[in-house]
Chain A
Amino acid sequence: MSIPAEKLAQYDEYVEALDLLDEESRFEYIIDIGKRAAKTPFPEDCMDDAHLMHGCMSKVWIIHGLVDGTHQFRGQSDAIIVKGLVSMMVGSFSGLSSDELADVTLDQIRGLNLGALTMQRQVGMMAMLKHMQKLSKRTDSAADISAAAE
């Protein structure tokens, strides 16, 4: 199945913005997103091992919940660049149904064109997608987002 275009509006916005920028500006753009994300509160009690995504050089926490049948994610990292990247991921792919989320492809991650910054970041983004897809299949994580919203 294909994902309705309106549900990927944020993703498309990132792709278009990054496409216009040269490599150095892309780097600064991601840092800016990371700095903005740093100003959005993330529940401190969710920055624990239960929400930690393993295998990253910096720490990445992702929380997940179901709102009206769509998957909502929020992310956090202790490094600004990674905070920018995880913000882009949860911003791009929140609001999808289970089937739609399962349909997000690695090509769409490549579409963000972050590989030029370093392969490692692109690999990290792919790992984030897989982690989000895994979280979406868990029924016990649904409380996270509502708890975070309180």
Chain B
Amino acid sequence: MNDISRTPKHHNLEAGFEVERIRQDFPILGREVHGKPLVYFDSGASAQKPRVVIDAMVEVMEDQYTNVHRGAHYLSQTLTDRYEGVRETIAKFINAGSESEIVITRNTTEAINLVAATYGRTFLSKGDGVVISAMEHHANIVPWQMLRDEIGIELKVAPIDDRGVLDLDAYADLLDQNTKFVSMTHCSNVLGTIVPAKDIVGLAHDRGIPVLLDGSQAIVHGAVDVQDLDADFYVFTGHKLYGPTAIGALYGKADLLAQMPPYQGGGDMIAKVTYEKTTYAEPPYRFEAGTPPIIEAIGLGAAIDYVSAIGMDAIQTHESALLAYGTERLGEMPDIKLFGTAPHKAAIFSFIQEGIHPFDTAAALDRAGIATRVGQHCAEPLMARLGVDGTVRASLAMYNTTAEIDVMIAALERARTLFR
């Protein structure tokens, strides 16, 4: 089982959100870039790792490492227990009904591809509609396009308004008799918009249509309860949740997973193999061919224990304060055009500085030690909708501060002088 004895419960917030103490848990936040203190505003791409995650992964490799699920020896049995404990941790974190509804994947991309390839090929056929939104990451566009090209489904795109708010009426109109599946972001990686997920699921369920929610961004910024959302599938990745790369999860309702064929064939996903016939394991193992990402799973377990000890609601409250402050400060700058002003959004700022190419703005921020992302953010169709070639994106996390936002504002003022 997971050892959470080192998880810093002192951060729990009866005395308020202790961001400076949280920052101490992230070794990288103490470093400098270009001679300036690192301001890490690229957590939407990948978040930094707290010491407990790093230590958990090192500890496994130094003291407990072996393969899981098959060894007839002490190390294998204890590590299998610990690995399966992570499945329980994930299940509790998103309030799944059972740990058997949690499939360990490499990331969100793999999870969506898994659903498209297994559920999609089994239950969708030519002419069936799949609804996505106008603010999807490529990971929730391309797998469905591949399925479209393979079996002839139709991709339907629910529009957004200029603030980045999903048009719920237009979405409902797309749920016609041909629509058989909805796959939608829970929180836009570019605009920060948090969609009304319960309404999206409810409207689809009224018509008997299952829903997948892409929680890559949403799961980082607030508590997620898949049973309350009534999502049929919920997917997320570990590395944005302060865990390691190459680990993610697919939640699927038990009855759906049970009806889906395997994704990949190999070891670990079978019940019995002969040359004539193979019987597949029950979910979730049916979808986990080959040796799993053991060390990464332990790291993700440690990350979930860490954020759970701090509390997702407390993290959300802190990030909301950052969002409000950043929106106000950027709003004071006449040359900043902010994209994504939905009333319900995460602390993600996508913007351009008028008259300055986003690449130049980001380079000036980099010189000030500020890590942002520039370009299309794996969301080219959304950029076309916004009418820009790209934006600068500052995506904040629980370890960021209002003082760091001030550093960014000063760097943007300097960029204005540098490039004009």
Report A's interface with B, CB cutoff 8 A.
Answer: 23-24, 27-28, 31, 57-59, 78-82, 118
Contact = CB atoms under 8 A, between A and B. Distances in A.
A27 B362 CA distance: 13
A80 B419 contact: yes
Contacts of A79: 357, 359-360
A81 B35 CA distance: 21
Interface residues of B, number: 15
A79 B389 CA distance: 12
A31 B416 CA distance: 12
Contacts of A59: 389
B34 A80 contact: no
Contacts of B31: none
28 contacts: A23-B34, A24-B34, A27-B363, A28-B418, A31-B418, A31-B419, A57-B359, A57-B374, A57-B375, A57-B390, A58-B357, A58-B359, A59-B389, A78-B357, A78-B389, A79-B357, A79-B359, A80-B356, A80-B357, A80-B360, A80-B419, A81-B359, A81-B360, A81-B363, A82-B357, A82-B359, A118-B363, A118-B366
A6 to B, nearest CB: 34
Contacts of B374: 57
Interface string B363-400: 10011000000110000000000000110000000000
Majority DSSP secondary structure for residues of A touching B:
helix
Contacts of A27: 363, 367
Contacts of A28: 418
A59 B359 CA distance: 10
Those 8 A-B pairs whose CB atoms lie nearest each other, nearest first: A79-B357, A79-B359, A58-B359, A79-B360, A80-B360, A57-B375, A57-B359, A81-B363
B367 A24 contact: yes
Nearest to B418: A31
Interface centre among A24, A28, A58 (most CB of B within 10 A): A58
Contacts of A80: 356-357, 360, 419
Contacts of A82: 357, 359
Nearest to A23: B34
A57 B362 CA distance: 11
Interface centre among B35, B360, B374, B375 (most CB of A within 10 A): B360
A56 to B, nearest CB: 9
A28 B363 CA distance: 11
Contacts of B390: 57
A78 B374 CA distance: 14
Contacts of B366: 118
Given A57-B375, A80-B357, 11 more contacts: A23-B34, A27-B363, A27-B367, A57-B359, A58-B357, A58-B359, A78-B357, A80-B360, A81-B359, A82-B359, A118-B363
Contacts of A58: 357, 359
Nearest to A78: B357
A79 B390 CA distance: 12
Interface string B178-218: 00000000000000000000000000000000000000000
Contacts of A118: 363, 366
A32 B147 CA distance: 49
A80 B419 CA distance: 7
